[in-house]
Chain A
Amino acid sequence: MTEQRSRTVRSSTRLPRSTGVLAFLAVGLMIVLAGAVVAQSTPRPRGTPRASATPRPSASPRPSARPDPAGTPTSTVDANEEDRLRAMREKARGPQFVGEDPAFLVLPRKGERSQMVAELMTPKVREMIRKSLDYLAAKQEADGGYSDTQFTSNTGVTALACLAFMAEGSRPRVGKYGRAIDRGLEFLLKNRQSGGVIAGKGSNPLGPAYENCFSTLALIYAYGDCPHLPVVRDTISRSVQAIAHAQKLDGGWRYDFGREGQSDMSITANTLWVLRSAKKSGFTVAADSVSRGVEFVTKCAMPDGTFRYRTFGNHAEPSIGGTGVIALCNNGTLAHPLIGPARDAISYDYDRYTIEDLKNRRYIVFGIFYASLAQYMCGDQFNYKAKGGEVKPGGFIPWFKKATAVLAAMQRKDGEFWDEYDNTLYPTAMSVIMLQSPLGYLPIYER
């Protein structure tokens, strides 16, 4: 059934092969923030005072028909009484948007020292990570860029590799992979175009929106740690401006940077995510851009709460529904009826299929990468509603173990991962980002 849905997406959008990959990538990206919203949807108990100076989200959290996604930790070393109480209070207060911009989402923290890393980062996983990172480092080209089978000298792949190194804890020029990040950033900067878009010769022929998004994201996360590259700030700024100027008349974004034409949910939500990260890093983003983007997302909404890929047609995917949630989340709306189903669909999917089934699935690496973002944000343990209404235990920890088993079955001798088109670099980058997600060193993983 999943296979069928994948084909439907491709045929309805009529994209070339590479475009489909990136579209899937973007859809998964959307799921990420959906999960974040789920994690925040704990209701505030009655009588709990609101923080008067703190602006609240526009909508109240969704009543918890599901168990609390923050969940009980699998195990704890100790629980300091003060920390526990503060965490309880934060949990009661729920997630907040502090200040005047919903980009600054503050989620409640745990009251106990998590053992998630100890449980998930086994020696085997660490060895998988080491081999993959070494593979990526070895495959970096002389100019700092990366060329995959389908994407020659591509900024998107390079940006993903940089993000993979950052997920290890390295920064530009600092850390084990600091040199590789530094070279990768220089490659990205070399490929900035006069209009502000960061895309090289190997970009998607339909338009460089995805390359630009990932490149901008990598530069934003590197920006505060690369004093030797003063041009980064200007590059991000120009890219953000280019994104703002490319907003189409319907309020969304598409592959190309023209204002004409139809937008799609995937790139729109992906772009809104970049804009959110840019805002957090001190770049001015027009409030109108965001609100119009959100307006486009609402136009894609279906009566049953799912979202269409575009504003026309009737077909909707659970994962695309997640993109809508991300878009709404970026405008300060935390409670949406599609958040739960989006998260549950991922849990159900990975619970239902065997490792062999998942390994042979098309675009499985993309799926794992984006699902990891969503599951991480939803919490270590939660219960999800499977198809048929059965409530089953799920969460990031069981999901991670299953996904790691799939990746372990896929990893080749040199540490690389692959896709059906024999690309190895971006699958490896995405896989190793996911494998390092428990470390929490990359801000895309939020709790």
Chain B
Amino acid sequence: MPKLTTMTSEAVVVLLLLVAAALVVFYTYIYHREARQTRRLTRRQVWTLRLLRVGAAVLVIFALARPVLTITEHRSESPVVPILIDGSQSMTFDDARENPLVRGPRQSRYESAKIVLDKLMDPLIRKHDIRLYKFSHDLKLITALDSRGEKGKKIEDAARLFPDIDGRPDAATGGLTDITASGTAGLNNMGDSKVSGMIVITDGRQNSGAPLAKLIELAQSDRVKVPVHTVVLGSEYPLRDLRLDDLNGPPDASLGDVLTLQAKITNDIDDSLATELTLYEANDEEYKKAGTAEAQKKLFRQVAKRPIRLRRGQQAIEISCIPETEGDRVFRAELPVMADEVNVENNSAVLTVHVAKKGLKVLLIAGEPGREYDYLAPALLRDPVINLSCYLQSADVDYKQQGNTNIELLPETQKQWSYFDVAILLDVDPVEHKHPLTVQQIAGLESMVSKGGGLLIVGGRNQGLAKLLTVHALKLREMLPIEIDKNDHPQIDRFYEESFTVGRTRDGRLHPVLRMNGDDRKNEEIWSTFPKFYWAHPAVKIARDSISLLETTSDVPTIPKGRCVMAVKRYHEGSVVYLGLDSVWLWRNPYEDFDYDKFWTRTIRYLGETKLKGGQQQVTLSTDRRSYAPGETITLQLRVLDPALMNQLADQKLYAKVAMPKGGEDMILLERSADGEPAFIGTYRTKRVGSLKATAQHTGTDSEAKKLFDVKYEFQVQHQSLEAKDTSADLEGMRVLSESTGGKHFNYRNMNDLATLLDDFPADPKVITRKNPVDIWDGLTFLLIFLMLVSAEWSLRKWWGLL
């Protein structure tokens, strides 16, 4: 029903009424004056003129009031369902095999999305209008379909309506996934339409950095109030991929000695994958000259292979070989290609290592040929890196001292001592033997150690360290990691018939020398099998800046509990180890000489590491991966392998320096690992692309500043797809999105119930009322009527002779 209203305000209407009243008065006055002239007119003529004049006046007033005629219309509209389909690159990855929608051995997530669309479109289009969108970093409307009620047409193949999906290889090319921005845009685009719900078909792995909470907040708001339903393709597990993230190892290796490389492997294949890791070696120069990857591959020869069992996720696996050729060598670790592996390019990694003939020159000085000497010398002689020279003090004057390199006399001068890398004082006699240790010799020994050498002092029952300290207190007391009472000599007349146990201290458990096995549990088992001891060297307490590795753990009258029997100390650039046991040979039982040899050779290698590797390798610097995308978080880890060094660094601030490819450096603070690991961690982000070099070095706090360590690590920052970084689906994130907004969540586990999603879309149409205002006064008709009235009045008056 049309309704007459006015466009003019009420005040104007009142004014117009006043004007009308004034006109009535005016017209009354005029007609009163004209009464004489109108007497000759008939009553009908008079009233005709009066009506015409009043009519014209009314029309004017009516026009001034600007009357409008409002016509109200009522219309019903189908509710809208926006469907957002993920068009990012990750949708080209394989869908989860467990998804019931997957037909055949492999099916991309995008193909699965088509099937989902097929299942949903036909029922939905009956009573809903559908808006199909594709999204990646933004939202793009593909098509808008009205409900079949209007079109009356069946959707034969919903996928055809979405041409980007159907068979187009570039269908999913988006380099980013931003569900938050796309969903927000989709909801905002709906305007006043009634939205029954929004469907998001995606793998859910948002990598734009935008929080999903924003979308949830919008969908929950009173203004929008739209449930968001999510259909997630893929699974919470990454795609099947076996990846060799990194290959780490020392920059230098000794010719003929074992070289151990650490491969960081990520297993996204199975929870427990049995496979093998193969190591190949090639000449670095030839490798660089070879132009193609195929030619490079031909240069390699296999040097090691080991079966491995991998749990899911990243883990470090060691593989060892013995380099037989000097020079720069390229080592390539390789994993086999698994069935259905998503990326086979990342199954290998290379590392260049400089191989040179190196060795540790070890001088073993023993007082008497005790049982330890019997077994120790062969244990050291077996090590290919160790070049041993024995010097038995008690030997006959004309005795030919033994070892790889025979010596006739002990070194005297500093220069002679500097020939050796490690010295072992095995219960030496400083005075009484034919070959006592002189002050000059001890000074030479101290000089050798302070310049990076190693010293192992074994306190035995024959001589004891008190005697040695009495003669050479000045230097030795400073070097020893233990405090010895110089009046507390071994009681040689006493019987030691009660046994006691020794155990590793907290630092000892972490120390590489005392790790008989890489596995902690096995390590504990092995240590529990070692026999008991009957004698230990007397000691007062651990020296400053030293750490105790072994101590007595049972109390007997002769040896108190808690006495340190092994300690280590860093002395300038070198290290000193004290051992207060003279019968470590008991560890030959129960595993024969396996652990015994291991203990000694590891101790000697530890002490000679500075000389062997050109620097203390007690720390390693690495990142969690070798390659990053710009802006990605890089985690730098400085792992301290030597508990003695960790003890020294415990309260210090450490920094790593990262050198940019085109100049410039950044400093990163490394903080102590929160999980108690002997490591310092720092995070870093950069947008610079190229090869970045991280360096961590530390200088001692003493006045004779020497580098405690100086380690380098190189990693790459390069443009790379964030889509491929994590190929798992974010089931949890999408579930939260759905449940928070009142929507439903579907993934490969409940995809068979997808039809139930249709129950959640109310089909009630939206009734829309529209009012169309029509201006009455502003028209030709109105003007013609007015003109006709004015003209008629004027003409009649003329006709009747009133003018």
State the Cβ distance, A291 to closest chain B Cβ, in Å: 15
> In this assembly, does B371 line the interface, its C-beta being within 8 Å of a C-beta of chain A?
yes
State the Cβ distance, B628 to closest chain A Cβ, in Å: 30
A169 touches B531 (CB 8 A): yes
Q: State which size class the interface on B falls in.
A: 35 or more
Q: Lowest 6 A-B CB distances belong to which pairs?
A: A224-B370, A282-B395, A117-B590, A99-B402, A281-B369, A284-B396
A104 touches B497 (CB 8 A): no
- A–B pairs, 6, beta carbons within 8 Å: A89-B256, A99-B390, A104-B378, A110-B594, A280-B369, A441-B588
State the Cβ distance, A133 to closest chain B Cβ, in Å: 14
Interface 9-mer from B339-347, B379-387, B672-680: B379-387
Q: How far is the CA of A59 from the CA of B43 in the complex (A)?
A: 163
Q: How far is the CA of A115 from the CA of B369 in the complex (A)?
A: 29
Residues A56-112 near B (CB distance < 8 A): 77-78, 80-83, 85-86, 89-90, 93, 96, 98-101, 103-104, 106-110, 112
Greatest chain A CB density within 10 A among B370, B375, B401, B597 is at B370
State the Cβ distance, A273 to closest chain B Cβ, in Å: 15
B592 touches A114 (CB 8 A): yes
Q: Which residue of A lies closest to B582 (CB)?
A: A225
B591 touches A283 (CB 8 A): no
Interface 9-mer from A155-163, A174-182, A248-256, A329-337: A174-182
> In this assembly, does A139 line the interface, its C-beta being within 8 Å of a C-beta of chain B?
no
> In this assembly, does B527 line the interface, its C-beta being within 8 Å of a C-beta of chain A?
no
Interface 9-mer from A7-15, A46-54, A207-215: A46-54
Q: State which size class the interface on A falls in.
A: 35 or more
Residues B358-398 near A (CB distance < 8 A): 368-375, 377-378, 381-384, 387-388, 390, 392, 394-396, 398
A109 touches B382 (CB 8 A): yes
Interface string of B511-523 (1 = CB under 8 A from A): 0000001110010
B368 touches A178 (CB 8 A): no
A100 / chain B contacts, CB cutoff of 8 Å = 400, 402, 406
State the Cβ distance, B368 to closest chain A Cβ, in Å: 4
B320 contact from A82, A225, A438, Cβ within 8 A:
A82
> In this assembly, does A257 line the interface, its C-beta being within 8 Å of a C-beta of chain B?
no
> In this assembly, does B260 line the interface, its C-beta being within 8 Å of a C-beta of chain A?
yes
B495 touches A179 (CB 8 A): yes
A227 touches B403 (CB 8 A): no
State the Cβ distance, B392 to closest chain A Cβ, in Å: 4
Interface string of B663-682 (1 = CB under 8 A from A): 00000000000000000000
State the Cβ distance, B115 to closest chain A Cβ, in Å: 49
Known contacts A114-B594, A117-B590, A224-B369; A173 and B496 CB within 8 A of each other: yes
A171 / chain B contacts, CB cutoff of 8 Å = 371, 583
Known contacts A81-B306, A233-B394, A284-B399; A443 and B406 CB within 8 A of each other: no
State the Cβ distance, A259 to closest chain B Cβ, in Å: 23
Q: Which residue of A lies closest to B493 (CB)?
A: A228
Q: How far is the CA of A284 from the CA of B400 in the complex (A)?
A: 8
B492 touches A227 (CB 8 A): yes
> In this assembly, does B462 line the interface, its C-beta being within 8 Å of a C-beta of chain A?
yes
Chain A interfacial positions (CB closer than 8 Å to B) = 49, 51, 53-54, 77-78, 80-83, 85-86, 89-90, 93, 96, 98-101, 103-104, 106-110, 112-118, 121, 169, 171, 173-176, 178-179, 182, 221, 223-225, 227-228, 233, 237, 280-284, 438-441, 443, 447
Q: How far is the CA of A169 from the CA of B533 in the complex (A)?
A: 10
> In this assembly, does B71 line the interface, its C-beta being within 8 Å of a C-beta of chain A?
no
> In this assembly, does B632 line the interface, its C-beta being within 8 Å of a C-beta of chain A?
no
Chain B interfacial positions (CB closer than 8 Å to A) = 256, 258, 260, 306, 318-322, 324, 368-375, 377-378, 381-384, 387-388, 390, 392, 394-396, 398-406, 461-463, 490, 492-497, 499, 517-519, 522, 526, 531, 534-535, 583, 585-586, 588-595, 597-598
A178 / chain B contacts, CB cutoff of 8 Å = 495-497, 534
A86 touches B369 (CB 8 A): no
Q: How far is the CA of A116 from the CA of B590 in the complex (A)?
A: 8
B589 touches A117 (CB 8 A): yes
Q: How far is the CA of A116 from the CA of B592 in the complex (A)?
A: 8
Known contacts A81-B306, A81-B320, A86-B384; A224 and B373 CB within 8 A of each other: yes
B595 contact from A101, A113, A116, A282, Cβ within 8 A:
A113
A104 touches B402 (CB 8 A): yes
A109 / chain B contacts, CB cutoff of 8 Å = 382, 593-594, 597
- Which label, helix, strand, loop or mixed, suits the secondary structure of the A interface? loop
State the Cβ distance, B694 to closest chain A Cβ, in Å: 27
State the Cβ distance, A144 to closest chain B Cβ, in Å: 14
Q: How far is the CA of A182 from the CA of B494 in the complex (A)?
A: 11
A174 touches B534 (CB 8 A): yes
A82 touches B374 (CB 8 A): no
State the Cβ distance, A287 to closest chain B Cβ, in Å: 9
Greatest chain B CB density within 10 A among A98, A101, A117, A280 is at A98
B499 / chain A contacts, CB cutoff of 8 Å = 176
Q: How far is the CA of A284 from the CA of B590 in the complex (A)?
A: 34
State the Cβ distance, A96 to closest chain B Cβ, in Å: 7
State the Cβ distance, A71 to closest chain B Cβ, in Å: 13
Q: How far is the CA of A282 from the CA of B378 in the complex (A)?
A: 15
Q: How far is the CA of A212 from the CA of B420 in the complex (A)?
A: 41
Q: How far is the CA of A441 from the CA of B258 in the complex (A)?
A: 29
Known contacts A169-B589, A282-B394; A53 and B387 CB within 8 A of each other: yes
**15 additional A-B residue pairs with CB within 8 Å, beyond A114-B592, A440-B592:** A77-B591, A80-B517, A85-B320, A106-B378, A106-B382, A109-B597, A110-B592, A118-B590, A178-B534, A179-B495, A221-B371, A225-B370, A227-B462, A280-B374, A283-B395
B384 touches A89 (CB 8 A): yes
A81 touches B260 (CB 8 A): yes
Q: Which residue of A lies closest to B368 (CB)?
A: A224
Q: Which residue of B lies closest to A88 (CB)?
A: B322
B371 touches A83 (CB 8 A): no
State the Cβ distance, B407 to closest chain A Cβ, in Å: 10
A174 touches B496 (CB 8 A): yes
Q: How far is the CA of A80 from the CA of B383 in the complex (A)?
A: 15
A112 touches B461 (CB 8 A): no
A282 touches B396 (CB 8 A): yes
Q: How far is the CA of A77 from the CA of B324 in the complex (A)?
A: 29
A169 touches B586 (CB 8 A): yes
State the Cβ distance, B524 to closest chain A Cβ, in Å: 13
B405 touches A53 (CB 8 A): yes
B368 touches A117 (CB 8 A): no
B583 / chain A contacts, CB cutoff of 8 Å = 171, 174
State the Cβ distance, A62 to closest chain B Cβ, in Å: 21
Q: How far is the CA of A221 from the CA of B373 in the complex (A)?
A: 11
State the Cβ distance, B409 to closest chain A Cβ, in Å: 15
A108 / chain B contacts, CB cutoff of 8 Å = 382
A85 touches B319 (CB 8 A): no
Q: How far is the CA of A66 from the CA of B118 in the complex (A)?
A: 74
Q: How far is the CA of A399 from the CA of B318 in the complex (A)?
A: 38
B598 / chain A contacts, CB cutoff of 8 Å = 83
A225 / chain B contacts, CB cutoff of 8 Å = 368, 370-371, 461-462
Q: How far is the CA of A107 from the CA of B379 in the complex (A)?
A: 10
